[in-house]
Amino acid sequence: MTGKTFAEFFAGIGLVRLGLEMAGWKAVFANDIDQKKFEMYRDNFADAHGAYVVADVHHLQAAEVPSVTVATASFPCTDLSLAGYRKGLAGTQSGAFWGFARILDQMDGRRPPVVMIENVTGFLTSDGGRDFINAIACLNRLGYSCDAFLLDAVNFVAQSRPRLFVVGVHDVSVTWYRVQVLATRDPRLRSPRLTELMTARTGLRWTVLDIPPPPRREGCLVDIIETVPPDSNRWWSQDRVSYLLAQMSGRHRGVADVLMASPTERYATVYRRVRYGKSMAELRTDGVAGCLRTPRGGSSRQILLVAGMGAVRARFMTPREYARLMGAPQYTINVPDNQAYFGFGDAVCVPVIQWIGQRVLNPLVDGVGLGTGNLVATPG
């Protein structure tokens, strides 16, 4: 092996790198098509100009990628969701997965011993599950036996951000699994749909890793709020706040009224969604922000509601608050707000990746994860 080195495909602003570095890994290569994301990456990593290639993955050549222990790929999720009309891996954006697979294929004898791909949980239902099955089959053909698990950022930070992870191990000779082992995994790591796909008689090769339960989150929304002066133009006008309240359903507006009547300031988040053909404002008061997304026409940004003592204020969350919700509180932000929102909205949560690095990848490359104690490999 080549030590704890990794190549990061669809690198974005580098949050996979931050997480894996915290787990003792070294980044030696990064690739993404987005120049603006590279600009954010460049402001945070001194070796960006030497390590980061801005290019379409379909045009990247395997010879440009150094030999590494792990290759990660957080390929675009757009076509796996309603935002992309569920075109799946046949779509122009999520189809970038095939560009990543092509590079692995062309690396041939230099293929990384381990690969890790990440995407939204909609990957499990895209094209009736066939996209997920086809991706696993592709990795199998390249010599990787796979495991798949779910992990939500809410276990680490005050943001609900469920994601699917697939870890493929190259040249594992024993690749069976026991269905009951999947059933005993921590419920936060699995779902009925994922278990159904992994236990279907599809001829796929699975190696079920010994993954411990994820931690329990300690902080909440109030811990990430940035101090914004009352006279800042970030705060909305009262007319705009009133319009936001009018977009709420009767139930949500009732909750907002309760918050306003509180003797102390209370914090909540609001996200606009289209319901029954019109834009609705949905209130969340459990101390957790909804999943951060890239802004589309300004409506996909998280809104912070501050209410109490008979008053209510509102504003969009700041880029710094986004960084904190992604587990990157010290991340350097020298770009306009919308550019930062796009960068963080497309990224991964840092402590999630750090945990995977420590609890999944490190045992694999240290030789523990490939021993009988950490692989579930029993026929039937």
Residues 112 and 34 reside in one and the same domain: yes
Same domain, 108 and 252: no
209 confidence band (pLDDT: 50, 70, 90)? confident
> Is the same domain home to 302 and 158?
no
Residue 324 is assigned to a structural domain of this protein: no
pLDDT of residue 276 exceeding 90 = no
Instruction: With respect to residue 247, please indicate whether it lies within any of the assigned structural domains.
Output: yes
| Most confident of the ranges 25-34, 206-215, 269-278 | 25-34
Q: Is residue 208 part of a domain?
A: yes
Query: Residues 140-188: pLDDT tens digits?
Result: 999 999 999 999 999 999 999 999 999 999 876 545 455 566 778 999 9
Mean predicted confidence (pLDDT) in 315-341: 97
106 and 170 assigned to the same domain: yes
Number of domains in the chain: 2
In angstroms, the CA 13 to CA 43 distance is: 9
342 occurs within a structural domain: no
Task: Report, as an integer, the average pLDDT of 112-124.
Answer: 94
Does 48 map to a domain?
Answer: yes
Domain of residue 301 covers: 227-317
Are 302 and 363 members of one domain?
no
Q: How confident is the model at residue 17 (pLDDT cuts 50, 70, 90)?
A: very high
Q: What was the pLDDT predicted at 373? A: 34
pLDDT interval class at 127 (50, 70, 90): confident
- pLDDT number for residue 182: 78
For residues 370 and 294, state if they share a domain. no
Claim to verify: residue 71 and residue 158 sit in the same structural domain: yes
Instruction: Verify that 136 and 253 share a domain, yes or no.
Output: no
- Shared domain check, 269 and 122: no
One-character DSSP codes across 24-61: T-EEEEEEES-HHHHHHHHTT-TTHHHHEEES-TTT--
Task: Kindly give the residue spans of alpha helices, DSSP state H, lying in 111-209.
Answer: 130-141, 179-184, 192-199
Same domain, 137 and 247: no
pLDDT digits (tens, 9 = 90+) for 240-261: 999 999 999 999 999 999 999 9
Say which residue, 183 or 74, is predicted with more confidence: 74
Evaluate whether residue 331 is within a structural domain.
Answer: no
Encoded tokens for 51 = 């390590």
Statement: residue 296 has pLDDT above 80:
no
Q: Which CATH number do you get for residue 63?
A: 3.40.50.150
